[in-house]
Amino acid sequence: MKCPYCHHDDTQVIDTRAPEDGNTIRRRRRCTQCDKRFTTYERIELAMPVIVKKNGSRTEFETDKLRGSLMLALRKRPVSAEAVDTAIQRIEEKLLSSGEREVNSGYIGELVMRELKRLDKIAYIRFASVYKSFEDLSEFAEAIQEVKKT
């Protein structure tokens, strides 16, 4: 890291701080030549994994699409936009921290169901009934029983 003042290329780290989000590390540096101080930020670069659909085709992850399916399930339900944002954030963090370069769309479906179960039981049943395409009434009843238990 070059000194921004005198361009000397030897600087010393005098303080390192990892803020609460854990993604950016802040370092205080001191130039060993001119003794001026400056701050650098280090960010972890994480990439969203590519989504592998059931038919084997690949697609980019899109937050808007994820939000779309959540909103559809939550239509007219008493859930705040903030709660939806938090759920989306949690899903994205799971995907990022998986470290995988590719994930099955089924995995994302499971993550969505987990969040919906927490947010709103009706929305969960809506999503699950489409997503899991229940074959008959008994499967549907089973899902409802499962929700009742939690």
5 touches Zn ion (CB under 5 A): yes
34 touches Zn ion (CB under 5 A): yes
31 touches Zn ion (CB under 5 A): yes
Select from 41, 35, 61, 34 the least CA-distant residue to 50: 61
6 touches Zn ion (CB under 5 A): yes
91 touches Zn ion (CB under 5 A): no
Rg (CA), the chain: 23
Cβ neighbours of 102 (radius 10 Å): 10
27: enclosing H helix or E strand: strand 24-31
Number of residues that bind Zn ion (CB under 5 A): 7
Residue with tokens 């590719």: 102
CA distance 63 to 50: 13
CB of 4 to Zn ion, least distance (A): 8
8 touches Zn ion (CB under 5 A): yes
123 touches Zn ion (CB under 5 A): no
Contact 12, 29 (CB under 8 A): yes
Q: Which stretch binds Zn ion (CB under 5 A): 23-31, 83-91, 95-103, 133-141?
A: 23-31
3 touches Zn ion (CB under 5 A): yes
CB of 50 to Zn ion, least distance (A): 44
Say how many residues make up the chain. Answer: 150
Binding site for Zn ion (CB under 5 A): 3, 5-6, 8, 31, 33-34
